[in-house]
Structure 1
Amino acid sequence: MREITADQLDDVARGAAILGTGGGGDPHIGRLLARASLGEHGPVRLTALDELPSDAAVLPVAMMGAPTVMVEKLPSVEQIGLAARTLADYLGRELTHVACAEAGGVNSLIPVAAAAQLGLPLVDGDGMGRAFPEIQMTLPTLHGVRATPMAIADEKGNRTVLDTVDNGWAERLARGATIEMGCSAMVSLYAMDGAQARESMVPATLTLCAELGRLVRSGGVAAVVDRLGGELLFTGKVVDVSRRTQAGFARGDAALSGMDGDAGSDLVLRFQNEHLVAERDGAVLASVPDLICTLDAETGEAITTESLRYGQRVAVIAAPADPRWHSAAGLELAGPRYFGYDIDPVGVPR
Structure 2
Amino acid sequence: MVELTLNDVETILFGCAILGTGGGGDLQRGLETVRSAVRDRIILMSVDELSDDDLVACPYFVGSVSPRDVNETQRRVGSPVLESFKLLERYMGKKFSAVFPTELGGGNTAAAFEVAARSNVPVLDADPVGRAVPEVQHTSFYLLEIPMTPFTICNYLGDKVIVDEVCCDEQAEEITRAIAVVSGGKVGVTSHPLKGSVVRKSIVKGTVSLAWQVGRARQEALQKGEDPVKAIARVLDAKILFEGVADSDAVWEDKAGFTYGDMFFTGVGNFAGRKFRIWFKNENLIAWLDGQVCLTCPDLIIVLRAEDGSPVLNPHLKKKEHVFVLGVAASELWRSQRAIEIFGPRHFGFDFDAVLLKKEEGR
Both proteins in one fold, TM over 0.5: yes
Q: Give the residue type in structure 1 aligned to 2:197.
A: A
Give distance in 1, aligned partners of 2:137 and 2:71.
Answer: 24
Aligned counterpart in structure 1 of residue 185 of structure 2, from 167, 183, 186? 183
The answer (yes or no) to whether the contact 1:98–1:121 under 8 Å persists in 2 is yes
Please report how far the alpha carbon of residue 77 of structure 1 lies from its aligned counterpart in structure 2 after TM superposition.
Answer: 4.8
Give distance in 1, aligned partners of 2:184 and 2:277.
Answer: 30
Q: Does 1:225 align with 2:227?
A: no
CA RMSD of aligned residues (A): 1.7
The answer (yes or no) to whether the contact 1:25–1:67 under 8 Å persists in 2 is yes
TM-score (norm 2): 0.92
Give distance in 2, aligned partners of 1:73 and 1:100.
Answer: 28
Give distance in 1, aligned partners of 2:86 and 2:179.
Answer: 19
Matched residue, 1:215: 217
Please report how far the alpha carbon of residue 148 of structure 1 lies from its aligned counterpart in structure 2 after TM superposition.
Answer: 1.7
- Map Cα deviations across residues 308-349 of structure 1 (whole Å, 9 max, x no partner): 111111100010101111212111110111011112111122
Give distance in 1, aligned partners of 2:109 and 2:290.
Answer: 34
Q: Give the residue type in structure 2 aligned to 1:35.
A: R
Residues 285/73 of structure 1: CA separation in 2 closer, same or farther (3 Å cut): farther
Structure 1 stretches (4+) deviating beyond 3 angstroms?
70-78
Matched residue, 1:130: 131
Please report how far the alpha carbon of residue 73 of structure 1 lies from its aligned counterpart in structure 2 after TM superposition.
Answer: 8.2
Matched residue, 1:94: 95
- Map Cα deviations across residues 283-310 of structure 1 (whole Å, 9 max, x no partner): 1111000000100112111111122111
Q: Give the residue type in structure 1 aligned to 2:21.
A: T
Aligned counterpart in structure 1 of residue 246 of structure 2, from 223, 238, 243? 238
- Map Cα deviations across residues 120-159 of structure 1 (whole Å, 9 max, x no partner): 1111111111011000000111122112211111112111
Give runs of aligned pairs for residues 257-276 of structure 1, distance below 5 A.
257-276=266-285
Give distance in 1, aligned partners of 2:233 and 2:354.
Answer: 20
- Map Cα deviations across residues 250-296 of structure 1 (whole Å, 9 max, x no partner): 00101001111111001000000000111011111110000001001
Residues 8/313 of structure 1: CA separation in 2 closer, same or farther (3 Å cut): same
Please report how far the alpha carbon of residue 70 of structure 1 lies from its aligned counterpart in structure 2 after TM superposition.
Answer: 6.6
Please report how far the alpha carbon of residue 93 of structure 1 lies from its aligned counterpart in structure 2 after TM superposition.
Answer: 2.2
Q: Secondary structure at the match of 1:279?
A: strand
Q: Secondary structure at the match of 2:348?
A: coil
Matched residue, 2:114: 113
Q: Give the residue type in structure 1 aligned to 2:96.
A: L
The answer (yes or no) to whether the contact 1:25–1:70 under 8 Å persists in 2 is no
Please report how far the alpha carbon of residue 44 of structure 1 lies from its aligned counterpart in structure 2 after TM superposition.
Answer: 1.5
The answer (yes or no) to whether the contact 2:68–2:184 under 8 Å persists in 1 is no
Note the residue ranges of structure 1 that are not aligned, 5 or more in a row.
Answer: none
Matched residue, 1:4: 4
Matched residue, 2:28: 28
Q: Give the residue type in structure 2 aligned to 1:170.
A: A
Matched residue, 2:167: 165
- Map Cα deviations across residues 153-200 of structure 1 (whole Å, 9 max, x no partner): 111211111221111110011111111111101110111111111111
Matched residue, 1:17: 17
- Map Cα deviations across residues 95-143 of structure 1 (whole Å, 9 max, x no partner): 1111111112211111101001111111111111101100000011112
Note the residue ranges of structure 2 that are not aligned, 5 or more in a row.
Answer: 222-227
Q: Secondary structure at the match of 2:60?
A: strand
Give distance in 1, aligned partners of 2:352 and 2:339.
Answer: 15
Residues 73/140 of structure 1: CA separation in 2 closer, same or farther (3 Å cut): farther
Q: Secondary structure at the match of 1:89?
A: helix
Q: Secondary structure at the match of 1:111?
A: helix
The answer (yes or no) to whether the contact 1:82–1:153 under 8 Å persists in 2 is yes
Matched residue, 1:341: 350
Please report how far the alpha carbon of residue 228 of structure 1 lies from its aligned counterpart in structure 2 after TM superposition.
Answer: 1.0
Q: Give the residue type in structure 2 aligned to 1:57.
A: L
Q: Does 1:47 align with 2:45?
A: yes
Q: Secondary structure at the match of 2:233?
A: helix
Percentage identity across paired residues of the two chains: 30
Q: Does 1:198 align with 2:204?
A: no
The answer (yes or no) to whether the contact 2:261–2:315 under 8 Å persists in 1 is no
Residues 126/307 of structure 1: CA separation in 2 closer, same or farther (3 Å cut): same
Aligned residues: 348
Give distance in 2, aligned partners of 1:174 and 1:258.
Answer: 39
The answer (yes or no) to whether the contact 1:9–1:35 under 8 Å persists in 2 is no
The answer (yes or no) to whether the contact 2:246–2:318 under 8 Å persists in 1 is yes
